[in-house]
Amino acid sequence: RHRLEDILKVLFIGDIFGNPGRKAVKEVLSGLKKDLQFDYCIANAENSAGGKGITYVVAQEIYKMGVDVITLGNHVWAKSEVLNFIDTDPRIVRPANLPEGLPGKGATVYSNGKSKIGVLNLMGRVYMDNVDCPFRVADRELAYLKNITKVIVVDMHAEATSEKCALAWYLDGKVSCVLGTHTHVQTADERILPCGTAYISDVGMTGPYEGIIGVERKVIIEKFLTNMPARFDVAKGITQFNAVFLEIDEFTGKALKIERVAQIIS
């Protein structure tokens, strides 16, 4: 049995894509806060500004909506102005396994005044950029985080399901959850592994529902037909909100519950 006061509730929002994604968060988040009473909200927002990258103004907008910590991914440098604030914003993390010496940080600890939560951002290597080993970098970052809090949320921003799943099994019992992002399609394989780490291959995307992973359909179809370069415009129309809701024992760091959240917003 777990005491109710020991259970932390966390909402993790899947890739916020462009202005439609931000509007979806604004429309849905306050209602979910009332319903789920979560203690922390984390969101991947690497595509939140125009469908690629993030800006200072967009980051502040996302915080204002009720998001506590922002994670990023392979498009972290897509908007050059991120270099102006990524070092000074304690609530934003980029993949920890990018080459050493780059701006920003790969992990952070956030407190709501009553408890603390660690957030670690990693990026996969299969079909992705050439980055350091996410498994070994996770070990390095956890050596620091585990001294501060047992509740640790890992955003594994990766293409291959096998790599995300392998990391979850590798970290089982060492972190509270390993949540996949990047592919923009919510998977139905949420589970809690034997040693208490929650896992899902992909949280999904918060943004256009009628595009192709967020982009206008015509643009993507034409690219497949011709293989010619194309500008990826953010799709219009109906939007979607994808997230996962977790319950975590604050004192053991083990996950007690993982549940998908998916809403279509007309």
Residue 86 CA neighbour count, 13 Å, CB half: 24
Both tokens of 47, joined, read 């595509």
DSSP collapsed to 3 states, 38-99: CCEEEEECCECCCCCCCCHHHHHHHHHHCCCEEECCCCCCCCHHHHHCCCCCCCEECCCCCC
> Which residues, including other chains, have CB under 8 Å from residue 6's CB and lie 6 or more apart?
249, 250, 251
3-state secondary structure of 175: strand
Q: Which of 2, 75, 157, 184 is catalytic?
A: 75
Q: Is 75 a catalytic residue?
A: yes
Cα(first)–Cα(last) distance of the chain, in Å? 41
Burial of 31 (0-12, 13-18, 19+ CB in 10 A): exposed
- By annotation, the residues acting in catalysis are 75
